[in-house]
Amino acid sequence: MNKKRFDTYCESTFKAIIYIQNNIEENIDLSDIAKEAGYSLYHFHRIFKKIIGESLKSYIRRIRLENAAFTLQIQNKSIIDIALDSGFYTPETFSKAFNKYFGKLPSKYKNKVSLYNDSNISSIKKVFFTGRTCIFRRHTGLYTKSGTPYEKNSLWHSILLQSDLASKNVWDYELFGISHDDPSITSEKNIRYDACIAAKNDEKQLLCSKNCKKVFIL
C-alpha cells in the first residue's frame, strides 16, 4: 500500500473513531460509522481492521466494556443501568460479555478495592469552562510517553509545527490534555490521550488551520 492511500485510510479511520467516541452510549449503526468514514460498510470493515488491528465490532465492544469497568469502580450505579448505558439490551448479555473480557462478573468486579477511593486521592480541583473549538493530536500508549508542553518534541509542539497557525509558541494558546482511559483497565497499546490547543481569545485563528483534527470540547 502506498503512503498516500495509507494516510487516507488513517484519516477516514480516525473520523470513525471520533464518531464512535461521541456516540458510544447510543445504539450505533455500523453503516453510519462507515458513512462517516466515507466508505461502504463492506470496504470499511477491511480498512478499519488493517489500521486498528481489531474489527469494528470488537473495538466498539472493548471501549464499552472498559468504560463500564471504570464506571463500576467510581460510581454507585446499578449494574442494570451500567449495562444499558454501555449499549447492552439486558444485564445478562452485559454480564456474559464482561465476564468473557475481564474474567469476572460485573458484581464481583464492583466489589474489588477501588483505585479511586478517598484514601488514594490526595486532592482534586474541579474547574468548569464553556465549550471551545480545539485542534488536537492523539497519542496512543502510556500517558507518561505523551510528553508535556515544556518539551520541544511534545504533541503540542508538533501540532503547531504541522499547522499554519501564525504563532508557533505553545504558550500563546490554552493547552488541554484529555485522558480517555484508565491504565489499570485498558492495555498500554490502547490508551488514548489527546493533546489540545485552544485559542485564548479569537477562535477564528483555529478554524482556518490545516493538517490538524478539530473537535468541539463540551
Q: Residue 47 carries which DSSP code? A: H
Q: Residue 92 is which amino acid?
A: E
Mean pLDDT of the chain: 84
Cα first-last separation, the chain? 38
Cross-strand pairs, 137? 195
Q: Are 170 and 149 in contact (CB under 8 A)?
A: yes
What are the structural domains, with CATH classification, of the chain? 1-53 (1.10.10), 61-113 (1.10.10.60), 132-217 (no CATH)
123: confidence class by pLDDT, cuts 50, 70, 90:
low
Q: Are 153 and 147 in contact (CB under 8 A)?
A: yes
Structure confidence by residue, pLDDT tens digits, 65-98: 999 999 998 888 899 999 999 989 899 999 999 9
Nearest residue to 106 via CA among 122, 128, 84: 84
Report phi then psi at 217, rounded to 5.
-90, 125
Structure confidence by residue, pLDDT tens digits, 172-206: 888 889 999 999 999 999 999 999 888 776 555 55
Please say if the pLDDT value at position 54 is more than 80.
yes
Q: What is the mean pLDDT of residues 1-13?
A: 87
> Which cell numbers hold the place of 99?
465476564
Note the pTM of the prediction, 2 decimals: 0.82
CA distance 48 to 20: 13
